[in-house]
Amino acid sequence: MLNRRMFLQGSAALGGAFTLGAGLAERAGAAPDPQILTARFAEAQIAAGGVTPRVMTYDPGDPASAAMPPVLRMRKGEPFAARLVNRLDEPTTVHWHGLRIANAMDGVPEMTQPYVYPGDGFDYLFTPPDAGTFWYHPHCNTLMQMGSGLTGVIVVENPEDPSFEVLNLRDWRLGASGEFIAPFKPRDAARGGTYGTVRTANWQREPVYDAPAGGLVRVRIAATDVTRIYTIGLEGAEARVIALDGNPVEIPFALDRLDLGPGQRVDLALRMPQSEGQHARLGNFRGSSPWTIAAFRAVGTSLKRELGDIAPLPPNPVAEADISTAKRIPIDLTATAEHEPAASICGSLGYTFWAINKVPWPGDTPDPVAPIEELKFGKSYVLEIANRTPHAHPIHLHGLSFRILASNRRSLLPPPTDTILLLPDEQAQLALVADNPGDWVFHCHIIEHQKTGMSAYFRVA
């Protein structure tokens, strides 16, 4: 009998060929033309002090440009195809963060697909069921690959969506002349994570965008940094939060200060200042010295629009859990000093600092631990998650959305999400319906935490 491991090795052994993962997932219907995503090295001007060599990007077809991975536009309920071509010098994959798609398309090496070695490719084909703001990144050697640039934004459009600006927020660990420096410090990995030295939106330091005075601007913001938790706020204009983590909020609310952890997204509607030349500034207000992420400059005579003019976004088809029958699953996030890290094809940071239910696992390794729990297809569950550490952890679940039912640290309960920023000592109840079969990774999106043990998975069968 061919088990899954053998199957993966078998397809990897074909070597050089494009693995037809897509054929397994979606046999019906003609595939659309694939979006080419060539993972490759480039040079980019990111720091003030010099050009950064060996940035990694996804090139959509123009090898002369060294720019941010493209914003991928998909349509809700319509098939989307992408061909990953690996021109790096190490294996990679693409994970579609927040998209509830078939497990074979999830991009986790060893678990859902073979490694894509240099010179090889992989064809992805899936149909996103939800409209909203999502993102994509590798799921192999992630601290290095994401830290070097491989984080891009996905917009899944509803046919009737208004247009949005997209902001991809991330940092870079660069030295004074723009070169990459050590991606992390072990003592920080054992705490809140290691921060970058250059902060960017769309790979630019404090970009300024023009928009009509008194007009409405919708902005999709994705926090794709490997470490930084933002506390965003707006100065010089008013804004409403209209969606969080790819799902519309039921009643849009005024943006005051909003925490956004790695992996999370927020969609804002903002009304531009009335007079030409005035700025609305999106800032990070975490910590003692706030700074500007990006700004919007009013141009022209006022359009005199009102935030109330904005029609609500239609909800996504996320199933509601049946709480009365739901099985409860305790999940404890802890620090750990035990266990030796093992070398892995997808990289090892060489340390173990964190564990889920006492078991540390860095993810993306050939021999995963047992699943946290085997979930029965179609059944409801409540994850009783407890953060037993003094640090915040943005915990992400692949392939399934969950609803925060209750928490000892928050009163505002967001719409369904794929990533919860668990606060220090927070205990929360997360409800979900196990309606997507497969092995779904569950990990902290502070990548140093993930790669030093804070990773696990559920099996839905």
Binding site for ligand C2O (CB under 6 A): 95, 97, 137, 139, 263, 396, 398, 441, 443, 445
Compare residues 137 and 199 and give the one whose CB is closer to ligand C2O. Answer: 137
> Least distance in Å: CB of 286 to ligand C2O?
21
Of 97, 173, 393, 451, the one binding Cu ion (CB under 5 A) is: 393
Contacts of residue 331, Cβ cutoff 8 Å, sequence gap at least 6: 356, 357, 372, 383, 384, 385, 386
> Least distance in Å: CB of 449 to Cu ion?
3
Partner that binds at residue 449, options ligand C2O, Cu ion, none, CB closer than 5 to 8 Å by kind:
Cu ion
Burial status of residue 159 (CB atoms within 10 A of its CB: 0-12, 13-18, 19 or more)? exposed
Of 169, 444, 447, 456, the one binding Cu ion (CB under 5 A) is: 444
Q: Are strands 327-335 and 380-387 parallel, antiparallel or unpaired?
A: parallel
449 binds Cu ion (CB under 5 A): yes
Compare residues 100 and 449 and give the one whose CB is closer to Cu ion. Answer: 449
Give the C-alpha distances (Å, rounded to integers) separating 122 from 31, 101, 128, 410: 15, 16, 18, 41
Binding segment toward Cu ion, per CB under 5 A, in 117-125, 316-324, 421-429, 436-444:
436-444
Partner that binds at residue 393, options Cu ion, ligand C2O, none, CB closer than 5 to 8 Å by kind:
Cu ion
Compare residues 218 and 396 and give the one whose CB is closer to ligand C2O. Answer: 396
> Least distance in Å: CB of 47 to Cu ion?
27
Compare residues 266 and 444 and give the one whose CB is closer to Cu ion. Answer: 444
SS3 4: helix
Handedness of CA 409, 430, 333, 450 (dihedral sign): negative
Give the C-alpha distances (Å, rounded to integers) separating 141 from 25, 88, 190, 261, 394: 25, 12, 18, 20, 19
Compare residues 102 and 395 and give the one whose CB is closer to Cu ion. Answer: 395
Binding segment toward Cu ion, per CB under 5 A, in 67-75, 77-85, 399-407, 449-457:
449-457
Handedness of CA 298, 302, 307, 313 (dihedral sign): negative
> Least distance in Å: CB of 264 to Cu ion?
13
Partner that binds at residue 446, options Cu ion, ligand C2O, none, CB closer than 5 to 8 Å by kind:
Cu ion
Binding segment toward Cu ion, per CB under 5 A, in 10-18, 88-96, 415-423, 439-447:
439-447
Partner that binds at residue 281, options Cu ion, ligand C2O, none, CB closer than 5 to 8 Å by kind:
none
SS3 120: coil
By Cβ distance, which residue is nearest to ligand C2O? 97
Compare residues 52 and 247 and give the one whose CB is closer to ligand C2O. Answer: 247
Alpha-carbon span 52 to 46, nearest angstrom: 7
Contacts of residue 280, Cβ cutoff 8 Å, sequence gap at least 6: 234, 235, 236, 237, 239, 270, 272, 273, 295, 296, 298
Smallest Cα–Cα separation from 10: which of 279, 18, 200, 2?
A: 2
Alpha-carbon span 315 to 81, nearest angstrom: 24
Using CB under 5 A, list all residues that contact Cu ion. Answer: 393, 444, 446, 449
